[in-house]
Amino acid sequence: MTTVTEWQKEAYIAGQAADARVNVELETDGMTLNIGPQHPATHGTLRVVVRLDGEQVVWADPACGYMHRGYEKLLEVRKYPQITTLVNRLDWLGSFANEVPFILAAERLMDVEAPPRAQWIRTVLFEMARIANLTLFLGDMGVQLGAVTPVFYAFRDREYVLNLIEAATGGRFHPNYDRIGGLKDDLPKGWIDECKSTMQRVRNFCDEMEDLLLGNEIFNSRTRGIGVIPKHVALDYGLSGANVRASGVDWDIRRDEPSPLAWKDVEWKVWTHPDGDSFARYWVRLQETREATSIVEQLLDGLPAGPIMAKVPRIIKVPAGEAWVHTENPLGEMGYYIVSKGDLGPFRVKVRTPSFNNISILPWLLRGVYVPDVITILASLYFILGDIDR
């Protein structure tokens, strides 16, 4: 019943074996090296085929797709409330943030507005997803460079954030909490105080990272001037988020686009850095983590009372139309282009994930770079495989 024939299966296996053989034969004019798909430095199964001349890269070709799950096809056969479950798993480190643009797009098409309390709590959880995601990055970049200790601190302090997300939503990694018209539940008792103390803890962690890594001379010499991405190249390739802010582009969707979420109600700052190198990307993300803690505290202080869910029909049928909503996710700009024909489920969903574009710059960026710097650059660009491969 399957459309994949025996011949196809064998051809596929032969192709994989041929690719694997590349790793063993030693060519004298430049060595072709597979970085991945199983490799400690790639966050998951990303394979970067590089041709080396000594220790310098001559060309690089990322081969993604080892984790391709066919999201766009899958989303076409689901109903709207079922989609948040799937979509959590795109960027699994900051997974609440994946649900939000989709829900906002569906709400825009349905002309439904979630009540203010729900919007504020959504923003709180969105920023906590950002913190969970970025704290891992802050420790992880140390590990890629050889400093094995900061990552343990990162995981330790991240646990507090994940515990809070679990207390509110029921899931540490995949909350599945956003609903069209609001949220699934209200916050549990005592959550707000616990959250504030956790934010202080995260701030302490950021200070620690600043001392331990940012101030370290070896870290500086390994990251300054490495992987410089000029502004126009970054925008051409569609880099977004901290990557492009580290190249000097002053663009943050939370500030620049009208959104029902509560960012306009709090005071916060957008951080940019003119250099565009790996150090800048690390620095920008560190500042963003601090900023996120401040946003969360302000939001919790001003959380409005009220209902959690707007009045929506029990059976969700989104009217026909097209909508594009994007948000400033921890990894960059994530957006959903929903085409609806008035059914229970969408007709077509184009998922625009930030890491796909972030990685597409690698062939341009990695030319002439040393192998250790390849790792530094991969670490500083920060992608999640689920985001690249959808």
Positions in 316-375 near other proteins (CB under 8 A): 317, 319-324, 326, 333, 335, 337, 339, 341-345, 347-348, 350, 352, 356-357, 360-361, 364, 370-375
How many C-alpha atoms does 93 have within 13 Å on its Cβ side? 23
- Contacting residue, 85, 156, 170, 188, with other proteins by CB under 8 A: 156
Shorter beta-carbon distance to other proteins: residue 95 or 357: 357
Shorter beta-carbon distance to other proteins: residue 189 or 311: 311
- Contacting residue, 49, 143, 266, 270, with other proteins by CB under 8 A: 143
Among residues 389, 326, 390, which one has the least CA distance to residue 62?
389
Cβ-proximal residues to 302 (8 Å cutoff; 6+ apart), any chain:
120, 265, 266
Residue 23 binds other proteins, judged by CB under 8 A = yes
Residue 184 binds other proteins, judged by CB under 8 A = no
- Contacting residue, 90, 93, 103, 109, with other proteins by CB under 8 A: 109
Shorter beta-carbon distance to other proteins: residue 74 or 228: 74
Instruction: Give the integer Cα–Cα distance in Å for 128 and 202.
Output: 11
- Contacting residue, 41, 49, 303, 309, with other proteins by CB under 8 A: 41
Residue 72 binds other proteins, judged by CB under 8 A = yes
In contact, 206 and 138? CB cutoff 8 Å: yes
Residue 233 binds other proteins, judged by CB under 8 A = yes
Amino acid at 177: Y
Shorter beta-carbon distance to other proteins: residue 193 or 250: 250
- Contacting residue, 127, 297, 328, 389, with other proteins by CB under 8 A: 389
Residue 16 binds other proteins, judged by CB under 8 A = yes
Shorter beta-carbon distance to other proteins: residue 9 or 269: 9
Stretch that binds other proteins, among 214-222, 266-274, 279-287, 294-302 (CB under 8 A): 214-222
Instruction: Give the integer Cα–Cα distance in Å for 128 and 300.
Output: 12
- Contacting residue, 53, 85, 146, 215, with other proteins by CB under 8 A: 146
Shorter beta-carbon distance to other proteins: residue 123 or 168: 123
Residue 108 binds other proteins, judged by CB under 8 A = yes
- Contacting residue, 65, 171, 225, 307, with other proteins by CB under 8 A: 65
Q: Which residues does residue 370 pair with via DSSP β-bridges, in sequence order?
A: 56
In contact, 139 and 155? CB cutoff 8 Å: yes
Shorter beta-carbon distance to other proteins: residue 187 or 374: 374
- Contacting residue, 120, 160, 177, 237, with other proteins by CB under 8 A: 237
Our measurement of the distance from residue 377's CA atom to the centroid of its chain's CA atoms, rounded to an integer in Å, reads: 16
Stretch that binds other proteins, among 87-95, 168-176, 246-254, 277-285 (CB under 8 A): 246-254
Instruction: Give the integer Cα–Cα distance in Å for 246 and 273.
Output: 5
